[in-house]
Chain A
Amino acid sequence: MGPVPSVTAPQYGKAKPALLLADEFFLCGLDDMTGEQRLEPQALAVGLAAAVLGELMLSRHMIIEDGLLRVADVPAADELQERVRAWARKDHSVEAAKDWIMVLVARDIAELVKHRMLASGKVVRTTRRRLLRKPLELYVPPSLSTAAAAGVRIAGNLSVPRPLSTADLLLAGLLRATGRDREILSHCEPGVHEELERQIRTNLWPSAVALIDNATEVLVTAAVTPLF
């Protein structure tokens, strides 16, 4: 890969708390009554992989150009983000964003995100015993209403309708890719789906749109490929 084109250097010094899209995505997948993860493992992993790449895009460490992932040579603040950034920066055997999502899935991105959330105290690990079945391992926030917060925010803004913040819009796009949007927007008017689509189309920058499309394609391919 040649010199990285058109990646704006990240802004240092501004000690803005890192926005952790993947954490939000994980929480959005939780059932706010039981704390169980409602996304099946593959959808969760693909969503989280795309969300981590999304974090790096929001902090301007990455862009997608012609379907390829381009990475800035500037360290990211968050440990997990930096790990992923370093992988993608140093390893040029895979360049397509779609392939990188699959690589991250294969490298257990879901576990890494869960550990990051555990370490920062956003979730605690509990087990729930079940009759005649293996105990269920749960990662739940101390208060389950936290899990619902992003979804409520997105649904509320789309219902008005009011523009979502860039991060929320990307989150909503990834939730839609996994099918979780139906649950989150279930109590809204049907028009919110078109509103979401309109906002994604007009308000997101091309790399983010490409990220959502790539995540969608990975999930569609998984859905139509027979398992054996």
Chain B
Amino acid sequence: MSTTAAQTLAGQRVSTAGVVFFTASAATPLTVCAAIVTTGLAATGTLGLPLAFVIIAAVLAVFSVGYVAMARQVPNAGAFYTYVSLGLGRPAGVSASWIALLSYNVLQIGLYGAIGPSLAPLLNKWFGLDLPWWVIAIVAWVVVAVLGVRRIRNSARVLLVLLAAEVALVLLYTIANLANPAEGGPTLSGLALGDLLGSGLGPLLGLAVLGFVGFEQSAVFSEQASPGAVRRATIICIGGLCALYTLSSWSTIQAAGPDNVVAAAQASPAGVLFSLAEQNLGAWAAEAGQILLVTSVLAALISFHATCARYTFALGRDQVLPAALGRTTPRTGQPGAASLTQSALALLVIIAYAIGGWDPLTEMFYIAGTAGALGVLMLLAATAFATVRFLRDNDEDTSTVHKVAPPIAAIAVTAILVLVVANYALLLGVPETSPLRWGIPIAFAVVALGGVGYGLLLRRTRPQVYDAIGRGAGRVPVGAR
């Protein structure tokens, strides 16, 4: 054999471009620009979102220093959960795992609320069909559930083309929006500090975090790609998404007019971006965007489904959840039981919303998205503190950046979390008296405390399981699993 074993291994590695592409498609840029930005404008009624994206990107870039450094040193199957276990102790790790499961499931299931309203107008236009949203959601559910238990190769090119089309389209919209600003020409509205400060600060930062959810997926490749590739890919993704989101949301405000955009968003949250495109570029551009939004939501559904299945699988392996969930299916090599469990859960929620007659976009997608963002923020905060503790003892790189970045990130993320919780009603777009305003944060707190409690219970009743938490397969004696 002319090649060395190291070369053979290197040939199997995922490249920087591969990690960037996967991570960016997990963040689903068009869904963020077309659905989250506009529903966010409608719910919060303030314009500071473009600047919020910039601030969050800066915080996440600082956060990623410690995050990527830690990802190199620990097994990755559980991601956040593993990091928190190692950094803050196993009870905190179990707690993080419960929060992660809840958040990613909520995010994934919430997306089923977005696919109906985004596909329905197209079906109506093309075929004159008038389907209820839940029929479309269930069709999407079947696709996601079937793909979830299979090992799909060669879908990469399809996803790559879709992602490239999404990014190109958002940029095209941005240029068209800036070329056709509302009366008074382009202003700094949206990027001015004044738009961000005030009670809207927390919610806007929370929404911006929601936009970036998915960036953390880059660490999944810490074993398959070279450490440099993961670091580069994370920074490229955060930087690229930041530029895209900021430009897109700012140009939307400019085109609709700073005074009218909130009213327009409230009138039709899913339609603002496309009606502007239709006005500026013609009907074809709006239609292309609507088609890509459907595929973007579908890609997001598949991506978050895989994340949920991975978490469930990792927890099943560590026996924090039933061990059956921690097994792969021999015929596919995929975590089949974990995937099916997530699908079953999603179906129940879709059916419940269909029977309850609630609005899919505002009451399912947006509420779930903001709740998920709260959970992800909690995870980011816990992980940031975990990286501080872990890297203090284990970091090979002793440069100043590695010393300073993790504590700054921990403080910044915690501050954002506090701001989000303090103004959560505004983020949800509900009055202060709504039960959701405290219900959702309290639910997350209860789940977090429940996780800690369960971790402590495991320590007393099943010490073997407790010892194995967050250590990965190769580091545990077989019997301990």
Q: Contacts of B76 on A, CB cut-off 8 Å?
A: 221, 224
Q: Contacts of A85 on B, CB cut-off 8 Å?
A: none
Give A28 to B71 CA distance when docked, in angstroms: 36
Give A224 to B332 CA distance when docked, in angstroms: 12
Interface size class on chain A is 35 or more
Q: Contacts of A100 on B, CB cut-off 8 Å?
A: 5
Give A217 to B472 CA distance when docked, in angstroms: 7
Q: Is there contact, CB below 8 Å, between A217 and B473?
A: yes
Q: Is there contact, CB below 8 Å, between B9 and A103?
A: yes
Q: Contacts of B221 on A, CB cut-off 8 Å?
A: 225
Q: Is there contact, CB below 8 Å, between A228 and B479?
A: no
Show 14 residue pairs from A and B whose CB-CB distance is below 8 angstroms, ordered by the A residue. Answer: A40-B332, A94-B6, A106-B11, A179-B327, A183-B330, A201-B478, A213-B478, A220-B317, A223-B333, A225-B224, A226-B220, A226-B303, A226-B306, A227-B156
Q: Could you list which residues of chain B lie within 8 angstroms of chain A, going by C-beta atoms?
A: 1, 4-9, 11-12, 18, 21-22, 75-77, 151-153, 155-156, 159, 217, 220-221, 223-224, 303, 306, 310, 313-314, 317, 327-335, 472-474, 476-479, 481
Q: Is there contact, CB below 8 Å, between A220 and B77?
A: yes
* Sample of 10 further A-B pairs with CB below 8 A, known A39-B331, A91-B6, A224-B335: A94-B5, A103-B9, A182-B327, A182-B330, A201-B477, A213-B473, A221-B77, A224-B77, A226-B22, A228-B156
Q: Is there contact, CB below 8 Å, between B5 and A228?
A: no
- A197: CB under 8 A from chain B? yes
Q: By CB atoms of chain A within 10 A, which of B9, B334, B472, B476 has the most?
A: B9
Give A228 to B151 CA distance when docked, in angstroms: 10
Q: With A103-B9, A227-B153 as given contacts, are A43 and B333 in contact (CB-CB < 8 Å)? A: yes
Q: With A197-B478, A228-B21 as given contacts, are A93 and B159 in contact (CB-CB < 8 Å)? A: no
Q: How distant is A224 from chain B, measured CB to nearest CB, in Å?
A: 5
Give A183 to B477 CA distance when docked, in angstroms: 24
Partner pick for A228 among B4, B18, B333, CB 8 A cutoff: B18
Q: Contacts of B303 on A, CB cut-off 8 Å?
A: 226
Nearest-CB residue, chain A, relative to B6: A93
Interface members, chain A 197-228 (any B CB < 8 Å): 197-198, 200-201, 209-210, 212-214, 216-217, 219-228
Q: With A67-B474, A224-B76, A226-B22 as given contacts, are A102 and B9 in contact (CB-CB < 8 Å)? A: yes
- A99: CB under 8 A from chain B? yes
Q: Is there contact, CB below 8 Å, between A107 and B8?
A: yes
Q: Is there contact, CB below 8 Å, between A223 and B328?
A: yes
Count A-B pairs with CB separation below 8 Å.
Answer: 124
Q: Contacts of B327 on A, CB cut-off 8 Å?
A: 179, 182
Q: Contacts of A200 on B, CB cut-off 8 Å?
A: 478-479
Q: Contacts of B330 on A, CB cut-off 8 Å?
A: 38-40, 43, 178-180, 182-183
Q: Is there contact, CB below 8 Å, between B5 and A216?
A: no
- A70: CB under 8 A from chain B? no
- A173: CB under 8 A from chain B? yes
Give A201 to B306 CA distance when docked, in angstroms: 33
Q: Contacts of B12 on A, CB cut-off 8 Å?
A: 102, 106
Give A217 to B328 CA distance when docked, in angstroms: 12
Q: Contacts of B306 on A, CB cut-off 8 Å?
A: 226
Nearest-CB residue, chain B, relative to A227: B153
The 9 closest A-B pairs by CB, nearest first: A93-B6, A201-B479, A228-B156, A94-B5, A217-B473, A217-B474, A179-B330, A93-B4, A103-B5
Q: Is there contact, CB below 8 Å, between B474 and A197?
A: no
Give A86 to B121 CA distance when docked, in angstroms: 65
Q: How distant is B2 from chain A, measured CB to nearest CB, in Å?
A: 11
Q: Contacts of B153 on A, CB cut-off 8 Å?
A: 227
Q: With A201-B477, A213-B478, A226-B22 as given contacts, are A219 and B328 in contact (CB-CB < 8 Å)? A: yes
Q: Is there contact, CB below 8 Å, between B476 and A213?
A: yes
Q: Contacts of A99 on B, CB cut-off 8 Å?
A: 5, 9
Partner pick for A87 among B1, B328, B481, CB 8 A cutoff: B1
Q: Contacts of A198 on B, CB cut-off 8 Å?
A: 479
Q: With A179-B328, A217-B75, A220-B473 as given contacts, are A42 and B9 in contact (CB-CB < 8 Å)? A: no
Partner pick for A173 among B4, B328, B478, CB 8 A cutoff: B478
